[in-house]
Each structure stands twice: as structure tokens, then as C-alpha cells.
């Protein structure tokens, strides 16, 4: 397996980053997870746009243009012969002085790696059991808009969920409102309307989240953003999470309670995969 590291494709075992890299020391960096289909990254512009906005927010230099990153990503896909995969793009501030100050860290580290993806059966989404995490996300946190390299709250929430026999955690924010899962955006269906928390609740502006909202609009399905407590989920007709790796994942259980399964979830999963195929074949 080859990995892209600072302009070169190198064997994975030789893709070494310094122990003094600020990404390792402080989580001072960003990452993106991108679905690859038909040897092309899906919604590349959306992922690169979020990465670049995050770099500007962190005052972190992104040394490659979107087109240059894409060219290297395509070369990596061809080199590894992985037309169906998950692409991870990581950016850190690089090596600098000891301490929190970023001064002197002027050579960012850029890494891209490919990982196996699970086979997709259109209209048959993966099914997950969720457990509500005890940890809370800050409502209105500006860092929630980016995939920063420091995801300790998500790590702890996922560990807690797994200890409780669940596959994933549902995260609430500091106002007690529904936010997201550790690895994706959260939706529920009620009264024929697809509902999801607004970005201001402290959730990531997910690329797949945007695609699902777009697909709903095309299909005449109403979507509403709501800041609500988790109690409203008792009346839901169905729930699902969205993420780049799996598209739409149906939630079949929450805190040990079996849930209704809405046909619309499978329909959106099939529509997502159709969109992936159409855009990556173009």
C-alpha cells in the first residue's frame, strides 16, 4: 500500500511523521474522509472547501491547491488499484517549537491514505444501535464546522456507546439539544418531514448531510432544521445518520429501545448511491 506524504507516494511503512509534529502533540490539524467510487472522489469540491475553510480558521497553511490535491489523490488511487475506497486527507501544522504557540511551524504535513470500503447494496442501508452519550458538545462551537484532528469527545462518546453494547453514540449539546453522532450527522422522520439539527446546534456541515438535503428537495420531501431535546424522538417514524463512508445508516435502536423503520430511509440510501455513481462516472 502506498501513501501520499508531502508530495511523494511512499510505502505505508515508510510514511513517517515526526514525533514533534503538532498534529501528534496537540491535535493541531484537520482531516477529511472522502468516499471514492469509480476511481474518483465523491463531492471533492465540498470536502476541499471545508478543509480550506478550516485551514483559514486555524491560521494553518494548506500548501496545495484543490486541483493539486485531486491530482495526487487520483495518482494514489491508481497506484494502489483501489477504485472503490475511503480516502483520508490529513493536514497538520507540522513541526514547530515546544509549547502552544504556532510560531515557527511553517512546513505543514499533508498525508493522504486509502482504506477499504464496505460494499454498498442500494436501498439496504447499514443498521446501527445508538446510545445517548453522557458527554455534551458545546452549542455554537465554531470548531464544530471543521473536522479537526482533536476528536477526544467523539472518541470518549463512542467508547461509552460500545461499552453499552451499541454501535454508535448520539451526542447532545450543552443546551440539551440533539446534535449529531460521533461520526456523522443525525436525522429523524416525523409527520412525513425529514428533520435534522441546524448547524448552530454545534454540528458538522457534513458533505453527505448536504447531499441528502439536496436529494430530499429534488424528490419533493420536506426538510426542517430544528433545535429540540431528545424527547421528541419518541414520536419519530424513523431515524438515520449520514456520513461519507456509508452514506445513510439506519438507526434501529436507541438506548435499548427498538425503533420504527421508515421506508424513506432505504429510499434515501438508494438515491445517495445513485448520486455517487452518477457524479463519479461523469
Residue for grid cell 463531492: 43
- Phi/psi at 83 (nearest 5 deg)? -70, -20
Tens of pLDDT along 139-198?
999 999 999 999 999 999 999 999 999 999 999 999 999 999 999 999 999 999 999 999
Domains and CATH numbers, the chain: 2-116 (3.30.470.10), 126-281 (3.20.10.10)
Residues 161, 183: Cα–Cα separation, whole Å:
13
CB-neighbour burial class of residue 101 (10 A; exposed 0-12, middle 13-18, buried 19+): exposed
Q: What pLDDT was estimated at residue 280?
A: 98
Contact indicator for 2, 79 with CB cutoff of 8 Å: yes
Q: What pLDDT was estimated at residue 199?
A: 97
CB-neighbour burial class of residue 135 (10 A; exposed 0-12, middle 13-18, buried 19+): middle
Q: What pLDDT was estimated at residue 159?
A: 98
- Rounded to two decimals, the pTM is 0.96
Contact indicator for 141, 202 with CB cutoff of 8 Å: yes
* DSSP string across 4-26: EETTEEEEGGG----TTBHHHHH
- From residue 130, give the alpha-carbon distance in Å to each of 115, 164, 177, 203, 225: 25, 9, 16, 17, 21
Query: What grid cell was written down for 91?
Result: 493536514
Q: What pLDDT was estimated at residue 33?
A: 98
In which residue ranges of the chain is pLDDT below 50? none
Contact indicator for 160, 144 with CB cutoff of 8 Å: no
Q: What pLDDT was estimated at residue 1?
A: 95
Contact indicator for 138, 173 with CB cutoff of 8 Å: yes
Residue partners of 189: CB distance under 8 A and separation at least 6: 195, 236, 237, 238, 239, 262, 264, 265
- From residue 195, give the alpha-carbon distance in Å to each of 34, 36, 126, 192: 24, 28, 20, 9
Q: What pLDDT was estimated at residue 181?
A: 98
Taking the CA atoms of 260, 266, 269 and 271 in sequence, report the sign of the dihedral they define.
negative
2 has which bridge partners?
Answer: 11
Round the CA-based radius of gyration of the chain to a whole number and report it: 19
Q: What pLDDT was estimated at residue 85?
A: 98
Taking the CA atoms of 187, 190, 192 and 197 in sequence, report the sign of the dihedral they define.
negative
Contact indicator for 137, 115 with CB cutoff of 8 Å: no
Amino acid at each position: 500500500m502506498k501513501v501520499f506524504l508531502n508530495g511523494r507516494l511512499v510505502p505505508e511503512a515508510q510514511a513517517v511523521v515526526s514525533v514533534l509534529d503538532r498534529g501528534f502533540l496537540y491535535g493541531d490539524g484537520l482531516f477529511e474522509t472522502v468516499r471514492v467510487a469509480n476511481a474518483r472522489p465523491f463531492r471533492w469540491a465540498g470536502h476541499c472547501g471545508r478543509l480550506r475553510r478550516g485551514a483559514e480558521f486555524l491560521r494553518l497553511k494548506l500548501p496545495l491547491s484543490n486541483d493539486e490535491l485531486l491530482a495526487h489523490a487520483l495518482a494514489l488511487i491508481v497506484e494502489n488499484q483501489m477504485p472503490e475506497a475511503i480516502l483520508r486527507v490529513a493536514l497538520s501544522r507540522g513541526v514547530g517549537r515546544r509549547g502552544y504557540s504556532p510560531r515557527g511551524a511553517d512546513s505543514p504535513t499533508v498525508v493522504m491514505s486509502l482504506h477499504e470500503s464496505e460494499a454498498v447494496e442500494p436501498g439496504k442501508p447499514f443498521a446501527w444501535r445508538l446510545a445517548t452519550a453522557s458527554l455534551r458538545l458545546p452549542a455554537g462551537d465554531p470548531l464544530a464546522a471543521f473536522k479537526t484532528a482533536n476528536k477526544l469527545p467523539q472518541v470518549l462518546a463512542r467508547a461509552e456507546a460500545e461499552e453499552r453494547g451499541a454501535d454508535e453514540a448520539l451526542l447532545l449539546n450543552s443546551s440539551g439539544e440533539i446534535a449529531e453522532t460521533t461520526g456523522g450527522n443525525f436525522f429523524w422522520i416525523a409527520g412525513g418531514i425529514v428533520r435534522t439539527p441546524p448547524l448552530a446546534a454545534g454540528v458538522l456541515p457534513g458533505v453527505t448531510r448536504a447531499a441528502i438535503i439536496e436529494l430530499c428537495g429534488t424528490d419533493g420531501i420536506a426538510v426542517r432544521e430544528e433545535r429540540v431535546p431528545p424527547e421528541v424522538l419518541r414520536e419519530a417514524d424513523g431515524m438515520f445518520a449520514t456520513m461519507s463512508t456509508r452514506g445513510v445508516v439506519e438507526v434501529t435502536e436507541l438506548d435499548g429501545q427498538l425503533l420504527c423503520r421508515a421506508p424513506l430511509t432505504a429510499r434515501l440510501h438508494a438515491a445517495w448511491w445513485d448520486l455517487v455513481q452518477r457524479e463519479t462516472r461523469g
